Chains A and B, each alone.
Chain A
Amino acid sequence: MARESEDPAMTKASKVKRQRKKKPKENKTRTVHANILYDNAKGEENPNRHYANNEIKTTKYTLLSFLPKNLFEQFHRFANVYFVFIALLNFVPVVNAFQPELALAPVVFILSVTAIKDLWEDYRRHRSDQEINHMDCLVYSRAERRYVEKYWKELRVGDFIRLRCNEILPADVLLLSSSDPDRLCHIETATLDGETNLKQRQVVRSFYDLDCDFNPLKYNSIIECEKPNNDLNRFRGYIIHRSGRRDALYKENLLLRGCTIRNTEEAVGIVIYAGHETKAMLNNNGPRYKRSKLERQMNVDVFWCVIILLVMCLFAAVGHGLWMFQYGDKRPVFDVLSPEGTDLSPIMSAIYLFLTMIIVFQVLIPISLFVSIEIVKICQVYFIHQDMELYDEETDSHLQCRALNITEDLGQMQYIFSDKTGTLTENKMVFRRCTVAGVEYSHDANARRLAMYQEMDSEEEECTSHGGTLPRRDSVTSHQSARVVLRSQSTKSHRRTGSRAEAKRASILSKHTAFSSPMEKDITPDPQLLDKVNDCSSQMDFMRFHSQPTSQLPSDLADIIDFFIALTICNTVVVSSPNQPRQKVRMRFEMKSPVKTIETFIRRFTPSRLTSGSNNSSSSSLITNRSSNKGCSSLLSSPSAESTLTKLDEEQTPRGLEHAFSPVPPCYDGKGWNLEEGELRYEAESPDEAALVYAARAYKCSLVGRLPDQVTVELPHLGKLSFELLHTLGFDSTRKRMSVVVRHPLTDQITVYTKGADSVIMDLIRPPDTGSSKGKRQKKIVNRTQNYLNLYAADGLRTLCIAKKILSKEQYACWLQRHLEAETAIQGREELLFESALRLETNLHLLGATGIEDRLQDGVPETIASLRKAGLQIWVLTGDKQETAVNIAYACKLLDPEEEILTLNADSQEACALLLEESLHYIQAKFLCSSTEQATKSFHGSFAPFEIYSSSSPSSHSSSHTAAPFTVHRLGLVIDGRTLAYALDKSLEDKFLAVARSCRSVLCCRSTPLQKSMVVKLVRNKLKVMTLAIGDGANDVSMIQVADVGVGISGQEGMQAVMASDFALPRFRYLQKLLLVHGHWCYSRLANMILYFFYKNAMFVALIFWYQFYCGFSGSAMIDQWYLIFFNLMFSAFPQLITGTLDKDVSAETLQQLPQLYVNGQNSEEYKPYMFWMNMIDAFYQSLVCFFIPYFAYADSDVDLFTWGTPITTLALFTILVHLGIETKTWTWMNWLSIAFSIALFFTVALCYNASCPTCYTPSNPYWTMQRLLQDPLFYLLCVITPLVALLPRYFYRACQGTLFPSPVQVGRQLDKLPAETRRNILSLSRVKVGSPLSPKPPFLSLTKPSPEVCNKKDQRSFPGSKTSQGPVLQTVQQSGRSPLGPTDTERGLSDLYTLLPTEIDTLPYTKDAPPLSGGPHPPSSQDSECLDKTLEAADLSLSSWITSTPLLTQTDSVQLKLPPDGDSQCVTYTRSSEEGLKSDHSVHPAQRTEQAADQSLHTIL
């Protein structure tokens, strides 16, 4: 039979090939044939032979290729090439400086260390490959006519494999058959994307209706699909049957490698992609390589080292040439002729010498620096991994560093871009309240319940007792209904709320199901609504019994029941039972409804699919590619599209009202329905869905089963109802809604339930015709719902609207036809489906809206506050609606009620431009005068006790004449997605940035993933700042990838963000320690280490350089070549590694308590460009000392070359080590040990080396030198004085700096030294009363104390986009601005100073160069005052104009910048609306009042 079927298949294949030739586009496809057809054929004839087999090989090398390939790879690094070049240069006799073999040593050492590391990694990969390749799977063998076990690696494309439950998929497989009665296969994709919920996969349509087991021998179709690609969420293709019929293939048909089969006993599929071509493997692109800011800076300095090296070599070469020249023809006795016996010309010897010097001075380029940095970074990563405080017990996860080489970037961040949902919030959605048909149900009990959780959170953090019996019970008993709390027995405690141990237990128990903490599940229903639901359903039950049409139901009650049905079914939630977490509850329920007619009974019980063949004539015109040979092959029975149509046909026949019950499937689950409803568990793809389903269940409207074509809902009184699921139009981010099309079992109408974001749903509501009373009611409902929506949003709730639509059969048929066309289309299917969905979701009837609470994660406000104190700008980019976002922002202290909010909402490009312009003017007008005071104040007040900023003020002094420092005001910016799109336009981005950067917080709402990444990119590129993006979901991936450092939250929304990130955190609050402590440490350690490295090498090399003056610039070295080469590699290598790994400049506690210390890293204060040069100068000084003290000490003696050079080496080693000691802030036993070890190593090596071989080691031949030196008292005397003299200046400087003008970090260190008690007192004091003259020390040097005048001068802000204002300009403006204001301004300044003593720092204490937008300084001119006048005019204008305001509740003072909707008007206005919100329980801060008053007076005066 297979033979027979081969021919048509072959012809088909050739046809396909011909087609492919015709259409070059189709070259992008792959054709898969079944392998068993070609079992007998030779390899060449198998059409699948070109595809990769399933053996994976992730190793880079083979045994043979290792050496060349690894070397080749290593030579990609420039430094390695350089060192090999130098080593090879040594083999040229004319220029060699060292023994060639010896010169190779460092290079060989470094190369071999790297090679061994690579080899080891590769071996591990090889081992794991082997393991994977030798896993078993069942493959169909034609010879044996059964499935036989084979290794994974033997699997090939086109093989049939049988998969059993809990088996891991070996390749990408097209699902052809499943033991599941619904032809489904469930897979868990946790290894792929980390999502723990089960995914359903469907058998390919053509194989859908197979009754018997799938028989591979009968398979003779051809699959055409895409070429392998890495898009996990896309798979397109079609299957061509022998009959010539084509069926489309979706991603729902594809099982991906690495997933696990669950809930499905057996499945059979054909391999489509294998091995490296599977999507999982294509997605697997190893760790990412980023270059950190520090490293970029370092590379610049490495470049400078090269320059220094060349200069030194050139100098020596010229010197040598002259030295040679001075002898002329008189040949001194010590002169050596060239090997040919001829004299070398001075020029030639100078040229040779240049090369020699490069060899001698090679150490200046720190060969071991790169290796050392790698080692230190690995250690740093290790320590970050190990940090207990970054470990989350509940999820048993700790921080992951996925990028190994940017740890120090963590210490230099300036901007944080954060996602909101799941990042700041827990992404645990809890149903909070709802409104149905215009009536609000406030769910007070529910609110109390939630409050209880919150309370317990804080309570139990303090008391460590077992929290299981804490007062949650009260909340239960307070409910009116005893049965409303449906609590799972297995999870007695709740995840986020119990004590730690409890939480841990709970998390283990509930690990298998996401989104199921009791907090989310135990919804307390609103009694009023519950009554209504009961009422309504009993009425419906009554009506059903009396065969009354349900339309007689009062419309509000109908809405209520529809609302809950919509909540229940309009989703993709899968039901499972908790006792067997992965067993889907799979059964169809017999309806209680009586069977009216026997015909319906029969028809219902006859699978409609079987009858479809008889009456498809009417619809055949709709489906062109439909098979006509139904009779001959049951294998290719009708696809579900057909059956849908068939059902449609059936609809046209008159039928009874109550016929809604489904056929009992052949495989009725024998276990029966004995589970209690409370034990059902819902697995949802998003937490919102689960929350709504749980909410509906609280109203006893519970989802009990979901099948691809049917949803079963249990309603009070009505029992279980089965809704025939006709279509599911899934959620997408552009539509922002999802819909289900069902046949309502009670009314038998085709009903569309839509659930989506309020902004889109409200637009789709059918405009009520105002004539009828019903219409008026509708309008009222819509209006009231809108009000409630605003209210919800103001409460920080996520809002969703629920709507429905009833389709007439004709409408449905009409829509269905085009929808089917879209579904079966091969080109542009997505677009067509999208359009189809748009066609359906119109003219909706609004049912109600829900408010879901998404709680903030623990410690978010504190984290944000401390990050902000650390000088970080935090922007929140969210897809949520504006009101929700704003309120969450208030909740997490991102926005401060005391600060003004600029809200930018524009409809067009021009409007946006104007808005930005106005905002800029507004900011200038408002803050021009007060900014200086504020700046002054922040200098004084921020951390006066320890002058954190007083010492940083000189830096702003110094930078003020190069670029205007940029201040951040107490302003918040809120911008919505649409406006953001305009603002991100090339023409406006500068203005947008100018506005945004002067705001303390920026909130972008309704932003798309692309916009998120664009914002990050814009800020990163234009402001030249370090950016960090943090997010948890797939929509944050692009932003995470664009930022300098991407952080993923490994929360509930899968692993995509984590996969893209550099660091993965379990919780947002860990960001604080990661940045403030680890970031700071990593940065300061690495920065210091790099500087030290430069210093060390320069110092050592300079010794030889000085010697050149005494050896005729001949490239001779007094340091033995062994010491010279191993000095860096061995003698001085360990201490710096230890210090680079372990040194803590300030303790973790202090760093967290004084976030201001983070500024240190932001400003790169540990490693500024000048520091390199300072270090170089110090290095040269120290080397001078180390050279000339022995020089003079041994002058006029009979000392020989190496007896003199060895002490110098020793001294240099001591000096270098003590230097490190001065720079080391904390000395652990490891530091001591490493230094002792270094010294011991040096002497041991020296003694052994000098005793080992009397005649070797030419030319130095240092036999017994060290031994003799150790007997020489002079040696010890030198060892005492030289390091001291060399380090005296540095030590003196450090001592003075430490005592007299300590840097903030040093202050922090001094704090560390204080006893814990005192320190706590000081810190708490400083937090409570910052700015109080607690400290006994006002700024130490009165010079740095900024007087207001000084401040005025230095505190100039640039107004990018308009002009660069320099000192004089601002002064003028200020004065002109001040004169009309008179005392008001000063008054306010004073009030600012005293009442607004900063809890936050307004002025970023660092100064950033403004982007070079315009040229030189303007002279003070009338132009400027004119400009100001204009600004003020605009302000005046705003007073007269009216503006709508969004109901921002807690905010007392907001500035609304809005345009009239038409957008072409030039009349842009802004107004100050100091409104009390709906809940105006917020008291206005007195200072705020003063400021307000002052501002108003400003307007009135003008």
Chain B
Amino acid sequence: MVKQEQEIASRPDNTAFTQQRLPAWQPMLSAGIVIPGFVLIGLAFIGIGVALFVTSQSITVMELDYTGVERTSPCFRCSDPNVKNCVCQLDFSIASLFKGPVFFYYGLTNYFQNYRRYGVSKDDDQLSGDLDSFTSPSDTCSPYEYDSNNKPIVPCGSVANSMFNDTFKLYQIVNGTKKQVPFDGKGIAWWTDYNVKYRNPSVTPLRDAFNGTVKPLFWPRPAYELDPSDPANNGFINQDFLVWMRRAALPDFRKLYRRITEGDYAQGLPAGNYSLEIAYNYPVLSFDGRKKVVLSNVSWMGGKNEFLGIAYLVIGSLCIVMSIIMLIVYAKFKFPEEE
């Protein structure tokens, strides 16, 4: 690099790398850089925050709790675990147009789908249609692996076993008559789940594949009869099943049940009175859980969530405050001496 003298055997290489002289950028945390930096970041954040907040404000959300703990609740009767096949009806009204497409969720609280041993309790091979796993499910499904008669359970495991089985029907009360709001049950699960991850065994009819197996203990119907209305929505590729199998991250969660995209309701739910008919099956009182139904529309950033917007606003302002503080301190202690 500098001088090429005659080489001697053990002379070190004179390169920028070996001599640790690689050109380098040395960021200096001096006030001159930091303060404008903070201001810029603050401004940008406030900008984003405002956008997010506005977006979030435009989203409408409606939550209806139907656990039935309170005596006044229409579902109070159904919350008794001894009552079977209970149906309760929940009335509500929408003051102005609930802009579509409206997403219909069911929500559970205090429900630990992320419980470790619960999450493990499934057999991916079985769910991808592997017939061998039908007859001998994986150990991970234990104790929901075989029933008391030692017949294999399909789909095995705790996750499948505990599948949410309340069903909902939404009616608009138009002039005293109930007009059913059509639900779109297609495409509520991940596309990859439906098309790649979960597979039914290639046996037709499907029910033959399930010969010699039993349905999960808590299920009213076997897997191949989950949706009588749509044969393609049965077995492991039932949309509701797929949604359930995607375990929620937190104990309070909601899961997409249906979308309201069709007919008169494609533009949203018009103002008016509505009635929700709930087939109340799922027991939640044993773990102090709550059940609810959520109606929401979505924006580009997903469902209603004001947090992010606020966070951006707060952090943006904080940056600006910090830059001001630094400026004051800096001005007080530095500037007089730099002259």
Footprint of B on A, CB under 8 Å? 93, 97, 327, 330-341, 356, 383, 385-388, 391, 393, 396-398, 501, 504, 1110-1112, 1114-1116, 1118, 1142, 1144, 1148, 1189, 1191-1201, 1203-1205, 1225-1230, 1254-1256, 1258-1259, 1261, 1263-1264, 1268, 1272-1274, 1277-1278, 1280-1281, 1284-1285, 1288, 1291-1292, 1294-1300, 1309-1310, 1312-1313, 1336-1338, 1340-1341
Known contacts A336-B158, A1226-B25: A1284-B338 contact under CB 8 Å: no
Q: Does B270 sit within 8 A of A, measured CB to CB?
A: no
A393's contact among B11, B34, B119, B197, by CB below 8 Å, is which? Answer: B11
Q: How far is the CA of A398 from the CA of B315 in the complex (A)?
A: 54
Q: B34 — which chain A residues lie within 8 A by C-beta?
A: 1295, 1299
Asked whether, in the complex, the Cβ of A388 is within 8 Å of the Cβ of B114, the reply is: no
Q: How far is the CA of A1296 from the CA of B105 in the complex (A)?
A: 49
Please name the 5 residue pairs, one residue from A and one from B, whose CB atoms are nearest each other, closest first: A332-B287, A1298-B29, A1204-B249, A1226-B24, A1116-B116
Q: A1201 — which chain B residues lie within 8 A by C-beta?
A: 113-114, 119, 247-249
What per-residue 1/0 map shows which CB atoms of B6-39 lie under 8 Å from chain A? 0011111110001110111111111100100000
Q: A1118 — which chain B residues lie within 8 A by C-beta?
A: 114, 249
Asked whether, in the complex, the Cβ of B287 is within 8 Å of the Cβ of A327, the reply is: yes
CB distance from A67 to the nearest CB of B (A): 31
Interface residues in B273-323 (C-beta closer than 8 Å to A): 282-283, 286-287, 289, 300-305, 307-308, 311-312, 315, 318-319, 322
Q: How far is the CA of A704 from the CA of B243 in the complex (A)?
A: 104
CB distance from B151 to the nearest CB of A (A): 15
Asked whether, in the complex, the Cβ of A1193 is within 8 Å of the Cβ of B307, the reply is: yes
CB distance from B131 to the nearest CB of A (A): 14
Q: How far is the CA of A331 from the CA of B283 in the complex (A)?
A: 11
Number of B positions contacting A (CB below 8 A): 95
CB distance from A182 to the nearest CB of B (A): 37
In the complex, which residue of chain B has the Cβ closest to the Cβ of A1116? B116
Q: Does B115 sit within 8 A of A, measured CB to CB?
A: yes
Asked whether, in the complex, the Cβ of B12 is within 8 Å of the Cβ of A385, the reply is: yes
Q: How far is the CA of A1264 from the CA of B193 in the complex (A)?
A: 9
Asked whether, in the complex, the Cβ of B305 is within 8 Å of the Cβ of A1299, the reply is: no
Q: How far is the CA of A1029 from the CA of B55 in the complex (A)?
A: 70
Asked whether, in the complex, the Cβ of A1255 is within 8 Å of the Cβ of B254, the reply is: no
Interface residues in B219-252 (C-beta closer than 8 Å to A): 243, 246-252
Q: How far is the CA of A65 from the CA of B13 in the complex (A)?
A: 40
Q: Does B196 sit within 8 A of A, measured CB to CB?
A: yes
Q: How far is the CA of A517 from the CA of B45 in the complex (A)?
A: 73
Q: How far is the CA of A383 from the CA of B21 in the complex (A)?
A: 11
Q: A1264 — which chain B residues lie within 8 A by C-beta?
A: 190, 192, 196
Known contacts A1195-B307, A1255-B127: A339-B246 contact under CB 8 Å: no
Q: Does B48 sit within 8 A of A, measured CB to CB?
A: yes
Asked whether, in the complex, the Cβ of A388 is within 8 Å of the Cβ of B19, the reply is: yes
Asked whether, in the complex, the Cβ of A1277 is within 8 Å of the Cβ of B8, the reply is: no
CB distance from A1181 to the nearest CB of B (A): 15
CB distance from A636 to the nearest CB of B (A): 50
Asked whether, in the complex, the Cβ of B337 is within 8 Å of the Cβ of A332, the reply is: no
Q: How far is the CA of A229 from the CA of B276 in the complex (A)?
A: 97
Q: Does B265 sit within 8 A of A, measured CB to CB?
A: no
Q: How far is the CA of A1338 from the CA of B337 in the complex (A)?
A: 8
CB distance from B196 to the nearest CB of A (A): 5
Q: How far is the CA of A720 from the CA of B161 in the complex (A)?
A: 114
Q: B254 — which chain A residues lie within 8 A by C-beta?
A: 1196-1198
Q: How far is the CA of A649 from the CA of B261 in the complex (A)?
A: 132
B143's contact among A336, A1194, A1203, by CB below 8 Å, is which? Answer: A336
Q: Does B89 sit within 8 A of A, measured CB to CB?
A: no
Known contacts A330-B286, A1281-B312: A1273-B300 contact under CB 8 Å: yes
**Residue of A1191, A1258, A1278, A1341 with most partner-chain B CB within 10 A:** A1258
Asked whether, in the complex, the Cβ of B192 is within 8 Å of the Cβ of A1292, the reply is: no
Q: How far is the CA of A1148 from the CA of B16 in the complex (A)?
A: 13
Q: Does B166 sit within 8 A of A, measured CB to CB?
A: no
Asked whether, in the complex, the Cβ of A391 is within 8 Å of the Cβ of B26, the reply is: no
In the complex, which residue of chain A has the Cβ closest to the Cβ of B130? A1255
Asked whether, in the complex, the Cβ of B338 is within 8 Å of the Cβ of A1336, the reply is: yes
Q: How far is the CA of A398 from the CA of B13 in the complex (A)?
A: 12
Q: How far is the CA of A329 from the CA of B91 in the complex (A)?
A: 35
Asked whether, in the complex, the Cβ of B26 is within 8 Å of the Cβ of A1309, the reply is: yes
B112's contact among A383, A387, A1112, A1338, by CB below 8 Å, is which? Answer: A1112
Known contacts A393-B8, A1281-B308: A1225-B26 contact under CB 8 Å: yes
Asked whether, in the complex, the Cβ of B24 is within 8 Å of the Cβ of A1227, the reply is: yes
Q: A1226 — which chain B residues lie within 8 A by C-beta?
A: 24-26
**Interface stretch (choices B66-74, B94-102, B328-336):** B328-336
Asked whether, in the complex, the Cβ of B12 is within 8 Å of the Cβ of A1198, the reply is: no
Q: How far is the CA of A1229 from the CA of B118 in the complex (A)?
A: 47
Asked whether, in the complex, the Cβ of A1274 is within 8 Å of the Cβ of B18, the reply is: no
Q: A1197 — which chain B residues lie within 8 A by C-beta?
A: 254, 302-303, 305
Asked whether, in the complex, the Cβ of B286 is within 8 Å of the Cβ of A1230, the reply is: no
CB distance from A735 to the nearest CB of B (A): 40
CB distance from B265 to the nearest CB of A (A): 20
Q: How far is the CA of A1225 from the CA of B20 in the complex (A)?
A: 14
Q: What are some 23 contacts across the A-B interface (CB < 8 A)? A: A97-B116, A331-B286, A333-B162, A334-B112, A336-B117, A356-B116, A388-B19, A391-B12, A396-B9, A1110-B114, A1110-B251, A1111-B112, A1192-B308, A1195-B250, A1228-B25, A1254-B196, A1258-B120, A1258-B122, A1258-B124, A1263-B196, A1263-B197, A1264-B190, A1264-B196
Q: Does B111 sit within 8 A of A, measured CB to CB?
A: yes
Q: Does B153 sit within 8 A of A, measured CB to CB?
A: no
Other than A1196-B304, A1264-B192, give 4 A-B pairs with Cβ distance below 8 A: A396-B10, A1111-B116, A1118-B114, A1268-B190
Q: A1205 — which chain B residues lie within 8 A by C-beta?
A: 249
In the complex, which residue of chain B has the Cβ closest to the Cβ of A1208? B249
CB distance from B28 to the nearest CB of A (A): 6
Q: B125 — which chain A residues lie within 8 A by C-beta?
A: 1255
Q: B260 — which chain A residues lie within 8 A by C-beta?
A: none
CB distance from A1197 to the nearest CB of B (A): 5
**Residue of A334, A1199, A1272, A1298 with most partner-chain B CB within 10 A:** A334
